[in-house]
Structure formats: structure tokens, C-alpha cells
Amino acid sequence: MRSGFGRYEAMIQPARGSGVVTGFFLYTGAYYGTRHDEIDVEFLGRDTTRLHAAWFVDGQLQNRFVDLGFDAADRPRRYAFEWSATALRWFVEDKLVLEITEQDARLPKVPGYLFLNLWAADKSIASWSGETVSDHAAKAVFDWVRFIPLPQSAS
């Protein structure tokens, strides 16, 4: 089931390791018969002291790295993003760490499917993710996830 405007939260302890990516994201695209819109909370295992906040609008990537001031891989913490018609906001333990408004950039508009994953990156994106190490074992913890729709008047 697709979901739209609202708050998306998860308790996550991302994996460490070069070439390993832990993700919590809303996605839609050609596979689902829609344009590619996406909103991401990602952790690159090569540096889990930063959160990678990204969003796609019709396949076009925009992104920012947020310094956390701690190592996210040390223990589970609550991460969230809020999506409305006028803004995207990313949170760490309920603290706003990034806000993008429609004045700053185009925003996703297509409802999507919620995903949580851990994956080893292909060599073609190693400059972003780091080089994947073939004998490295990685573990991410997703304790829980939830979606809270925005009231109709707020969207």
C-alpha cells in the first residue's frame, strides 16, 4: 500500500563497513507505474557519524549529508522524516536536523512504498558508498517503524 504525506519514523542501528548502506525510505517509480519520487534516510557504513538525507523528484536526485555528532552504529536511535506538500524535514531523536521547503527545491509529490534495507553497493557507486569488502559481514537493526498520516488540513 502506498502512503503519502505524513511522518515516517524508525528505530535504527545502521551497519558499519565500507560499501554497506543502511536505508529507510519512501520509494515509487517505473516498476510501480509512476514517476521516480523518493525520500531517504541512509547511512553509509564507511562513516556512520553522518546521515545521508536524499530525495528524488521525477528521477532527479537532491541530497545533503548531516553530521550527527555521534556514531549512529553504536546503538539504535529514532530517525524520522516528515513529508508535506510544502516541506521535507529530517529528525534525529525528535531534533530537526534538516529542512527543505518548496522554495529551496522541488519536492516529491507521488505517494510511495516504505522500505527498510541493508545492501552492499556496486563498484559503480564506490565513490559515494566506499568499496565493498567481499568478506565483510554487516548487520543493521530495525527495531520498529511507523507512519503517521498528516491531517487532511495540514497536507
Residue positions annotated with a catalytic role = 38, 42
The residue type found at 71 is: D
Give yes or no for a contact between 66 and 115, defined as CB atoms under 8 angstroms apart: no
Cβ atoms within 10 A of the Cβ of 148, count? 11
Instruction: State how far the Cα of 155 lies from the Cα of 149, in Å rounded to an integer.
Output: 9
Question: Exposure pattern of 113-123 as b/e (b: 16+ CB <10 Å)?
Answer: ebeeebebbee
Cβ atoms within 10 A of the Cβ of 133, count? 14
Q: 73 has which bridge partners?
A: none
